[in-house]
Each structure stands twice: as structure tokens, then as C-alpha cells.
């Protein structure tokens, strides 16, 4: 399932780029996410997601597959398994940053694959919840970066 989201953070592209490459800085902005390990290009943790009547807790890992400093583009592969055996999820996430004056425009392309119960709930619900999560993430990241942590 392909999803695309756009948002803007009110900081220069260099500041946003450094933050994006630091899981310890951005993980607290992802609703339901807990980072348990971050070493080099790899990280691990869990994400709690509520999809309609079903609450899922995915535990898994992620890797920065490509980091294009000049193009301000990063590709992250992540995968996890629901702790209650309700399925798996994997995603390839490509984030591209573009300077927009003193702000940064961010485009996030996600190729998401889910199995088990969540897959039965339908694409519309998954896409809607994914959009809400990314909007909350963008708002939190903007506040965090504007708060002088840049």
C-alpha cells in the first residue's frame, strides 16, 4: 500500500536534516513509539497503533538504507511483529527535504505492507490512521525543533 504525506517544519533544511537522522530525537514525536536501541544506521523499538477496534503493539527494527546528504533524501526500512500474534508490518519510508525559505518542506513516501488482522480492516482505515499519526509527528517535530533543540 502506497501512501504519501507532505508537511512543513519551521526550521532551515540543515536543522531538519540533522534531526531526521537522529532516532533518539525524532522517536518521541512518533505517537505510540518507544525507541529501545539506536546504534549506527540501525534502531529498534515498538509502536502501539489503534486501528478501529484493534490495538496493535509492533516490536521491530529499522535501518537507514540510504542517506543522500546532497539530495536531502533518506530511505528507512522498518519491520515489526505484533506482540499478540495479530500479524506483521513492514515499511519502506522515503523522506525528502526541500528548503522553503526559512522552513523545510518534507515529503514522505511510504510503501507499507501489513499482514493478519490489520490487513482485514481495509486500506481506507490504515491510510486514515497513518495520516493522523504523521500529522501528529509533524506538529511535535516542529515544536521540538523550534524550541531551540536544533
For residue range 12-34, list pLDDT tens digits in order. 999 999 999 999 999 999 999 99
Confidence category of residue 148, pLDDT binned at 50, 70, 90: low
Q: pLDDT tens, 60-109?
A: 999 999 999 999 999 999 999 999 988 999 999 999 999 999 999 999 99
Q: Is 112 helix (H, G, I), strand (E, B) or coil?
A: strand
Rounded CA separation 31/49 (Å): 8
pLDDT, mean of residues 129-141: 90
pLDDT at 150 over 50: no
Cβ burial of 6 (10 Å; 0-12, 13-18, 19+) is exposed
- Residues 20, 78, 137: CA angle, nearest 5 degrees: 40
H or E element at residue 70: none
Three-state DSSP state, 65: strand
Q: Tell me the pLDDT of the chain averaged across its residues.
A: 92
Q: By the 8 A CB rule, do 30 and 141 touch?
A: no
Q: pTM for the whole thing?
A: 0.89
Mean pLDDT over residues 106-125, rounded?
Answer: 89
Amino acid at each position: 500500500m502506497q501512501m504519501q504525506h507532505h508537511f512543513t517544519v519551521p526550521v532551515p533544511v540543515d536543522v531538519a536534516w540533522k534531526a531526521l537522522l537522529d532516532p533518539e530525537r525524532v522517536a518521541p514525536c512518533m505517537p505510540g513509539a518507544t525507541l529501545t536501541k539506536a546504534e549506527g544506521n540501525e534502531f529498534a523499538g515498538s509502536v502501539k497503533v489503534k486501528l478501529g477496534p484493534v490495538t496493535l503493539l509492533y516490536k521491530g527494527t529499522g535501518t537507514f538504507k540510504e542517506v543522500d546528504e546532497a539530495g536531502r533524501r533518506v530511505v528507512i526500512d522498518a519491520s515489526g511483529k505484533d506482540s499478540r500474534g495479530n500479524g506483521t508490518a513492514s515499511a519502506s519510508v522515503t523522506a525528502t527535504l526541500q528548503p522553503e525559505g526559512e522552513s523545510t518542506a518534507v515529503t514522505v513516501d511510504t510503501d507499507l505492507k501489513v499482514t493478519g488482522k490489520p490487513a482485514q480492516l481495509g486500506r481506507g482505515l490504515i491510510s486514515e490512521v497513518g495520516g493522523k499519526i504523521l500529522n501528529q509527528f509533524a506538529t511535535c517535530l516542529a515544536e521540538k525543533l523550534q524550541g531551540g533543540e536544533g
